[in-house]
Amino acid sequence: MPSLYEVVGNARIKIPMWNEDIERCWTWKDELPRQRRAFFAKYFRGRGTFISLEMLPSFLALHHAPTSPGEFKGFFEAGRISPTARAVWEALAEHGPLAVLELRHACGLAGKSGNVRFKKAAEELQRKLIIVHFGTEQETAAWPSGKYELTCRAFPKQVARARTIPKETARARIAAKYLESRPGKAARDLARIFGWSREETEKAMKNQPPAPV
């Protein structure tokens, strides 16, 4: 996948050292979602991923993302989220955007074991596009803590639009956007990257619609 650091820093290095370019990217991951200019979460294979507002509805459509904060009960009963993920979602639904330590406290996830469970649940919700990074808060004397918010509350327009997009159309739009920067990729490459079946991938590459307005 394209690397934001490579674009900003105009460099290709395996282990980048901390510099002004990395600091800018680090700030953007929290501030751009808070300003509702882009989506950021540990989405793609659990790695930090920026998604433009233009493409966000297509990604949300693939996951049938929730449209309201109170849908955690239905997702849990359907087996779509774990008990700890439900607790994190429910706390955000009740309290609004929360920084990490405050959110852990609200979920009763104290101590080292609680932190491990929280990180796992937070990543689970991010990979399903249910929560998003949303600014920072200075909770301790160390680095500022990241804050989380529910995607349906942070990006309601994109969430509503996602419900009007069939999954086949969403895959086609995502494939078209990816091939803009990686022309010549075969169907098997997209299937491996996005975790789609061969049939889904071939259909997406064959029926690429025009970019959404």
Average pLDDT for residues 72-85, to the nearest whole number?
98
The pLDDT, as a whole number, for residue 109 is: 96
- Measure the CA–CA gap between 133 and 146, rounded to whole angstroms: 7
The count of C-alpha atoms lying within 13 angstroms of the C-alpha of 179, restricted to the half-sphere facing its C-beta, is 21
pLDDT digits (tens, 9 = 90+) for 130-159: 999 999 999 887 888 999 999 999 999 999
The pLDDT, as a whole number, for residue 36 is: 96
pLDDT > 90 fraction of the chain, expressed in percent and rounded: 68
Q: What are the structure tokens assigned to 140, written together?
A: 């301790």
The pLDDT, as a whole number, for residue 183 is: 84
Average pLDDT for residues 42-66, to the nearest whole number?
94
What is the number of other CB atoms lying within 10 angstroms of the CB of residue 101?
Answer: 15
Q: Above 70 in pLDDT, residue 11?
A: no
Q: Above 80 in pLDDT, residue 73?
A: yes
The pLDDT, as a whole number, for residue 52 is: 96
35-54+63-161, CATH topology level? Arc Repressor Mutant, subunit A (1.10.10)
Q: Above 60 in pLDDT, residue 94?
A: yes
- For 68-96, b/e burial (b = at least 16 CB within 10 A) is ebebbeebbeeebbeebbbbbbbbbbeee
Out of 25-39, 106-120, 154-168, pick the least confident: 25-39
Out of 11-25, 154-168, 186-200, pick the least confident: 11-25
